[in-house]
Each structure stands twice: as C-alpha cells, then as structure tokens.
Structure 1
C-alpha cells in the first residue's frame, strides 16, 4: 500500500521519494473525480515536497507548498483507512519541526 511506503520514506527523510509514492493515488482520485480525496492526497504530497524544498535551501517555495499541506489536511477524513493518512500527516508535522527549526 502506497501510504505505508510513504510513511516509511518520511521516517527515513526521503522526501522526494515520498512525494513520488502517492502520485498514482492522487491521479486516480482525480480521474474518478473524487475531488476531496485527491486534495487530501495532494496535501500529503505537498508536505513531503515542502520539506525537500527546505532542504534545497528554497525557503520561499517551502512556505508556499507547506501552506497547501496545511490547507488540505482537514480532508484526510475523506480517505479510506484514514488513520494511516493521519499518521502520515502527524509524521510530516514532526519532521517539519526537526528539519525546519
């Protein structure tokens, strides 16, 4: 399951790789017009991307992309097995505190 792989990649601070792991799921939800589910997954993707951008010394881009993660976080409730998605979101928040601060 891609969300479990995403969580492992985030734990290992492989933020670019994590981003890629949810791309197919995001495209699937867009294709079947599940807008809220697509945005929820997009938010997680953006959380990982933001941390990668910060590491690449692009703080302005980090801020814009992190804000998208925060904006769509409330939609995680729309996803099946949402406890794993909440786990991913919480992990991104923890990594954000350790990477950015």
Structure 2
C-alpha cells in the first residue's frame, strides 16, 4: 500500500517525524528520516547518521509492538534506539531540540510497554 505523505505537511523531516510519532504513525515515521539518514551516511557524517538510525529504529520498534503485534521484533529493534541515541549529546544538528523532543516522545511511548 502506498502511503499518502501529504498528511505530514510539516516543513522539515524532523517535524514530520514528530507529527508521526505523536499521532501513532510509527510505520510511516520510520520512512520520514531515511533520506536524511542516507545523506549523512554518504557525506561521511557517521554519528549524525547513527542518531537518525536510532530514531528510525525507535519508531520501528514501536510499530512492531503496537501495530504489527510482534513483541519479539520489538525486543530486537528497541536496543538499537538505546545504543545510538546517546550520540545526540555529542553532535551538531540544526533544530537539535526537535531531535531531543523526538527522543523523549519515543521513550515516553515506550514506557507504556509491559513485556514479560
């Protein structure tokens, strides 16, 4: 199914990502940072790319749990968010406060998950 991304009419990728995760569009959120992630990788900006990879994996993990109903997949992917997101403290990013906001929203949503 092709997603109509026009519902995400925010100006920047991080704004679209924030809108998506705030509205439980976790599957779609996963796609919204991929272009920037790939650009940073191509430019050799590894730590910036890894921060985006962490956010992407955070959204993917929540999609696996809440939408796909695959808690085992969630358990495998959420650690990638935890691994890469601390790099946010050490890099320069435009609108960095929005990346922190995304991090905090993902953590808050994740706190609702109870797995044995």
- Greater C-alpha radius of gyration: 2
Q: When the two structures are aligned, how many residues end up with a matched partner?
A: 100
Partner residue of 2:26 out of 15, 24, 31? 15
Equivalent residue of 1:45, what SS? helix
TM-score (norm 1): 0.94
* Structure 1 SS opposite 2:111: helix
Aligned residue number for residue 61 of structure 1: 73
Gaps of 5+ in 1: none
Over aligned residues, Cα RMSD in angstroms? 1.0
Partner Cα separation in structure 2 for residue 63 and residue 82 of structure 1: 27
Runs of 4+ in 1 over 6 A off after TM superposition: none
Name the counterpart of 2:99. 85
1:61-96 alpha-carbon deviations (Å, 9 max, x no partner): 101110000000111131412211010000001111
